[in-house]
Amino acid sequence: MHNVSRVLVVSHCLLNKGVRWWWEGKPLDRNIGLANEVVAHALKYGVGLVQMPCPEFTFCGNPRPSRTKDEYERLQGFREHCERLAKSVAEQIRNLMVMGRRPQIHIIAIIGIKRSPSCAVNSAIATRNGILRQDEKGIFIESLEKELSVYCQTMPPFLEYDFDNPDELTGALEKLIM
């Protein structure tokens, strides 16, 4: 795709692991640096990166404990916080899609985070009726999809990055970026 500026819209912690949850006992190096593989892809293919805000850090800061999706749902005001952020991110994405006439801006994908209660695409961990499940969208991604559906006839694809298995995303990105 020539004459088109291509971008990936990514969860905040892909470019700044400092915002990931941290609590006493978790090795600090898990919260330092960025997701090298995604940045390497962007550099290799000349792709721009747009960083979304971190819903959990901007609401709870750090240290904060690891929580499941249902625990975040019970945190008063958190869903509304995600909805506010999602509205603003959806507007930003909409602007990128419609205001760039030359060069056009093409959103290759929106990349969330595997298992995150806020940013998972289809793997948020939640306890439902006493059973631990791992097949839901995160709270922020739920809101973002809803907000984006107002603007997009064709939604950009949503992918997930797994900090424990960084290469998983590589194949999917190769196909989309080539």
In whole angstroms, give the CA distance from residue 32 to residue 35.
10
In whole angstroms, give the CA distance from residue 91 to residue 16.
23
Q: Please count the residues of this chain forming the interface with ligand SF4, following the rule CB under 6 A.
A: 13
In whole angstroms, give the CA distance from residue 30 to residue 158.
24
Question: What is the per-residue binding string for ligand SF4 in 97-136, x denoting contact by CB under 6 A?
Answer: ----------------x--x-xx-----------------
Closer residue to ligand SF4 (CB): 61 or 157: 61
| Cβ 64 to ligand SF4 shortest distance, Å | 10
In DSSP terms, 149 is beta-bridged to: none
DSSP H helical segments within 53-77, as ranges? 55-60, 69-73
In whole angstroms, give the CA distance from residue 28 to residue 128.
31
Report if residue 57 touches ligand SF4, rule: CB under 6 A: yes
Report if residue 38 touches ligand SF4, rule: CB under 6 A: no
Among 6, 20, 67, 81, the residue binding ligand SF4 under the rule CB under 6 A is 20
Note whether 30 and 129 are within 8 A (CB).
Answer: no
Among 56, 136, 142, 147, the residue binding ligand SF4 under the rule CB under 6 A is 56
Report if residue 11 touches ligand SF4, rule: CB under 6 A: yes
Side-chain-side CA neighbours of 69 within 13 Å: the count stands at: 28
| Cβ 49 to ligand SF4 shortest distance, Å | 14
Chain position carrying tokens 């640096």: 33
Question: What residues contact 52, with CB distance under 8 A and at least 6 apart?
Answer: 9, 10, 11, 12, 85, 89
Report if residue 156 touches ligand SF4, rule: CB under 6 A: no
| Cβ 167 to ligand SF4 shortest distance, Å | 19
Specify the DSSP class assigned to residue 6: E
Report if residue 19 touches ligand SF4, rule: CB under 6 A: yes
Closer residue to ligand SF4 (CB): 46 or 77: 77
Residues that bind ligand SF4 (CB under 6 A): 11-13, 19-20, 54-57, 113, 116, 118-119
